[in-house]
Amino acid sequence: MSWTTCDLCDAHEAVARVPQLAWRDFGGRVRFAGPIATVKCFEDNSRIKEIAATPGQGRVLVVDGGGSLRCALVGDMIGADFQRNGWAGLVVWGAVRDTAELGRLELGVKAMGSIPRRSVRRGEGAADVELAFGGVAWCPGDRLFADEDGIVLLEPGTVIPQD
């Protein structure tokens, strides 16, 4: 990957969307990119677990967990499913757990924090919906680029040098 989020912001200043959140890296891969899939859920990771079992094809799952740090939406077992099924990464507006194990995965994982408490499974949540958090819209199919400096979202079809 020859891009950096800083360079992408500079090159696409008029159209780059940059979430205004302080992300922490938990996965074994800090730099990752791909088209996004989305899920909206609050303290219930049922939909996330379902999506983890599907072919990722290099996509990134963006999770709107309402910013809750009361329980983790992703842990080592779900993270391993994402890696095994070819997902590039996860972005969680909420918490994760099993961080030592997540750090061993060849998967990008950005989240707000960690907590050992697991979430519940009530079968709630919605997938493939437009999300709004961090001051930006997150639309299924948008291209996400993540590195040490943060996240940049670009619309599909935006030309990325040496992409």
Containing domain of residue 27, as a range?
A: 5-154
CB neighbours (10 Å) of residue 137? 12
Judge if pTM exceeds 0.85: yes
37 within 8 A of 51, measured Cβ to Cβ: yes
Instruction: Assign 109 a pLDDT band (cuts: 50, 70, 90).
Output: very high
| pLDDT tens track for 88-107 | 999 999 999 999 999 999 99
What is the domain count for the chain? Answer: 1
Q: Taking residues 118-135, what's their average pLDDT?
A: 94
CATH of the domain at 122: 3.50.30.40
54 within 8 A of 138, measured Cβ to Cβ: no
Instruction: Assign 64 a pLDDT band (cuts: 50, 70, 90).
Output: very high
Kindly state whether residue 76 falls inside one of the protein's structural domains. Answer: yes
